[in-house]
Amino acid sequence: MVTSTGAETRKNSESEGPEEMISTEHVLEELVQQEWQEKQEVLTNFLANREKIQNSPEFKMAFNLTDRTIRCVDEGTPGGLHCAGSCILLGLENALARLKTANADGITSHEGCGAAVAYCKTAGIDPSLADTVAREWAQKLAQASGLPYKGHITAEQMARPVEMHNAVCAYYDDTGQMNPALLKILPPGFVVSRKYFGGDDLDLCIQIALGDHGFGKRFSKENPFYVFAVSGNNNSEFSAEELAAEARATVEKYNGRVALESIILPV
Ligand SMILES: [Zn+2]
């Protein structure tokens, strides 16, 4: 388009442009609808069988981290420990203190990071630079903490469609051990490692899910986005009641479009 003449541009926009646009939107709409149906099915099944699933021996498989590398809360970056934008919203000093508490073993960044976009907006940086900003932040944090930078996870490497967030829930994890992606029976969701990192991340997850990059308006009082407050009896920072109360303060802002449930691991 940059090299085309004005006449060609007009011709394109008259003949191919609008059709292309409609076709792209149509494909995306189909993808969103298909993802919505699939993920709602998993969510509905989980909600209907929660007690059975939570008491089954295989449920423990979702609490078995194989590394302590910092990743974003994004549902596309499963495993390890999760803080929005790999701690980009915390500031360096706070991030370093929390990494130490978390006993982290490395830092990642990822493409298409909503937290990095939020950071750019707050810091007065052009949001189109978010990808570079995310990468540079993670490298800076790695250097300052002495931990290895374990790379930039590309959109293609992520465990969700490149085009959208397909999370139907968020796991507000106070066990510091959860990887819901290990268990297909668990609905796909953001993970906030609340045991080590800040509570504000939950609000960001909800905003993404209910916004244009998530299922958006499909979340309603009838089909809410779920927040699961996850505690382990021996391994948690807060009591299950404290954790739920904290999550509730965020959930309540969304007029019934977000529901809260507690998951308490058996001892
Ligand atoms: Zn992110």
List, for residues 16-74, the tens digit of each pLDDT value: 555 566 667 777 889 999 999 999 999 999 999 999 999 999 999 999 899 999 999 99
Provide the pLDDT for residue 232.
Answer: 87
The mean pLDDT of the chain is 91
Provide the pLDDT for residue 18.
Answer: 58
The pLDDT > 90 percentage for the chain reads 84
Ligand 1 centroid–CA 165 distance in Å is 11
Residues 111-142: tens digit of each pLDDT: 999 999 999 999 999 999 999 999 999 999 99
What residues contact residue 101 under an 8 Å CB cut-off, 6+ apart?
A: 196
> For residues 47 and 259, what is the distance between their CA atoms, to the nearest angstrom?
12
Q: Comparing 207 with 15, which gets the higher pLDDT?
A: 207
Ligand 1 centroid–CA 258 distance in Å is 21
Ligand 1 centroid–CA 73 distance in Å is 6
Ligand 1 centroid–CA 14 distance in Å is 38
The pLDDT confidence band at residue 198, using thresholds 50, 70 and 90, is confident
Ligand 1 centroid–CA 114 distance in Å is 5
Ligand 1 centroid–CA 223 distance in Å is 25
Put residue 146 in one of left, alpha, beta given phi > 0 → left and psi -120 to 50 → alpha. left
Burial class (CB in 10 A: 0-12, 13-18, 19+), 179: buried
> For residues 56 and 214, what is the distance between their CA atoms, to the nearest angstrom?
31
Ligand 1 centroid–CA 187 distance in Å is 19
Backbone φ and ψ for 232, nearest 5 degrees, come out as -115, 140
Ligand 1 centroid–CA 28 distance in Å is 21
Cα 228 to chain center, whole Å?
13
Ligand 1 centroid–CA 77 distance in Å is 8
Residue pointed to by tokens 């974003």 = 72
Ligand 1 centroid–CA 82 distance in Å is 10
The pLDDT > 70 percentage for the chain reads 90
Q: Comparing 5 with 257, which gets the higher pLDDT?
A: 257
Ligand 1 centroid–CA 6 distance in Å is 39
Provide the pLDDT for residue 22.
Answer: 62
